[in-house]
Amino acid sequence: MTRKTLKVALLQETHRGSRDANLDAIEAGLREAAAAGAELVLLQELHNGPYFCQRESVDEFDLAETIPGHSTARIGKLAEELKLVIVASLFEKRATGLYHNTAVVFDRSAAIAGKYRKMHIPDDPAFYEKFYFTPGDLGFEPIDTSVGRLGVLVCWDQWYPEAARLMALAGADLLLYPTAIGWDPNDAQDEKDRQREAWVTVQRGHAVANGLPLLSCNRTGYEADPSGVGAGIQFWGTSFVAGPQGEFLARAGTDARELLIVDVDMARSEHVRRIWPFLRDRRIDAYGDLLRRFRD
């Protein structure tokens, strides 16, 4: 990676009520980011609609779309017009009965530069993703772009150090996480605080352990459970950019739409990895048990 500084943008948004309304808001955000000089824009997870995984319903499969398709055509056209590298996040219909949670990358062009299918799929109250998504089958492969090799992962992947490490070992220059995570409104405030801080901390740890900048873009706003069973989710925003020692470079608020723009010093990874050579000191001869589910 030879470039010194990269201006990045994270578009933290709310659900606007429909796919087209959400894409209109995204277009406005992309234009604002481009006008501010951003070169790379990260969007939140499943940005085209509500976070539909609060319930299990076959009707929600109507939200899925092919890749390429309507949304990739519109976002790709903007990537080409605005000369942006864009990381989008879609509910992919690969075939009837086969769906993925898929990140799509555009490199200043209408053509798709690459995609990543979410590997770790949660199944928890209000996050019933295993009903909808088949685990990814593209592996942990960075996507080459004009601004560097992007180690794109998605939401639940962010809790797994193995995913970040494998992207780093494959030569990623940055780690990027489109995200949809929030609180149960019925939780006590101290529990909410612990959850949000854990989410931030684990990702900062990935930046530190791999000596890489990290971008995490979350949605914000309250979304009711359409089944009426749960209390809904208050998405906590807090999108942020961290440097290769986990330092905050920029951080959004919790409860409003925000376009976060910051310069990332891409030369710092070289310096940090020289003083903290974690990759050099890995004991790859002793890690065989990582391939076991649990050591009984």
Active-site residue set: 45, 118, 155
Burial of 147-180, coded b for 16+ CB within 10 Å and e otherwise, reads bbbbbbbbbbbbeeeebbbbbbeeebbbbbbbbb
Angle at 161 between CA 157 and CA 165, to 5 degrees: 105
Q: Tokens 């299990």 identify what position?
A: 56
Distances 27 to 93, 114, 120, 235, 257 between C-alpha atoms, Å: 23, 21, 29, 22, 14
Q: Of 75, 55, 56, whose CA–CA distance to 65 is shortest?
A: 75
The DSSP-derived string for 63-124 is G-B-SSSHHHHHHHHHHHHHT-EEEEEEEEEEETTEEEEEEEEEESSSSEEEEEE-----EE
Beta bridge partners of 241: 215, 250
